[in-house]
Amino acid sequence: MAPNHHAGAFCPIVLACDEAYLMPLATTLRSVVESNAAHWPIECHVLVDDVSLPGRARVERSLPARAAQIRWHAVDLTDFSSFETQAAISKMTFARLLMADLLPAELERVLYLDTDILVLGDLLPLMRTELDGAILGAVRDGLDAELKSTSPAPTGMPDVCDYFNAGVLLIDLARWRAGRVSAAARDHLVAHPQTPFADQDALNVACDGHWKPLAAHWNFQGHRSTDIAALAPSQRPGIVHFITALKPWKADSLSLNARLYDGWRSRTLFARHPVMRWTDAIRALVSRMNRALSAHESTRRLKHQLRQTFSTRQAR
């Protein structure tokens, strides 16, 4: 039987993954255990859809001995097959809606993490956060300010008081179950099957007014414009979330944090071999050339428009 976890203790961590995302899963877990060595063994629950036994073993062997106790939970996503997601988002995103039914009933709270994340600090301060009666704690999404400044809300977006990012969730499981969050989220998806951000939108509706804002330090989303390794240690976030399709392990993303991410990945059994490094270098070069050509074409068009405008004014 799993131990009971409460505010103040290092609680279990929950993630979700399919076979295609085993490398990011292993990298996230490696960052979790190395940054939280004082709390070994760390209890982890991974929700999976058709992940092979060799794949699971490879993830487990990517971590130091006795660093983590991983429990794998198979999920059935059939009920979510009709709901849309953005092209870069897997159907596994819906798995977190099932966690309350799959996890041991005696667990009081868990920390859910997406697998496009690096943990760079001790998670205990986050886990000790008092939720003050809220169902969950989360960090506001970058869209929150835009939603509040636009009336009515952009097409398809939910009308909520505040909008959180669902990649890092500190969850009170008892309140989640009592509030029927999973059912309410699914009801929203049924009513709005094309909602832009799928289960994130649905969770925002289900928890509207019942979640506690956390410091951005615990779900830093500014990776596209911030070289995290260049920050002083005291300024680095505790959790980095690589939102959007521009992932640091994709060479053509030209991520500022590609080297940081690869440093963690290289310590797993999913490290890039020399051929992959060579291929990635070519992809990055092509992407840089395409960006340069695109920028040049944009500049040429702007100059042409300016000449036309100037000529028109002179003719007048």
For range 188-199, the mean pLDDT: 90
* Model confidence pLDDT, tens digit, residues 69-86: 999 999 999 888 888 777
pLDDT value at residue 177 = 96
Is a pLDDT exceeding 50 seen at residue 2?
Answer: no
Stretch among 87-96, 194-203, 227-236 having the lowest mean pLDDT: 87-96
Of 214, 109, 243, the residue nearest 172 (C-alpha):
109
Residue 284: is its pLDDT beyond 90? Answer: no
Q: What is the pLDDT of residue 218?
A: 98
- The band of 251, judged by pLDDT with boundaries at 50, 70 and 90, is confident
Q: What is the per-residue pLDDT for 205?
A: 96
Residues 171-192 have a mean pLDDT of 95
The mean pLDDT of 182-189, rounded to a whole number, is 94
Q: Lowest mean pLDDT of 101-110, 165-174, 247-256, name the range.
A: 247-256
pLDDT of residue 224: 87
φ, ψ of residue 140 in degrees (nearest 5): -60, 140
Residue 27's pLDDT band, with cuts at 50, 70 and 90, is very high
Residue 6's pLDDT band, with cuts at 50, 70 and 90, is: low
Residue 264 is predicted with a pLDDT of 98
Q: What pLDDT does residue 211 have?
A: 98
pLDDT at 1 over 50: no
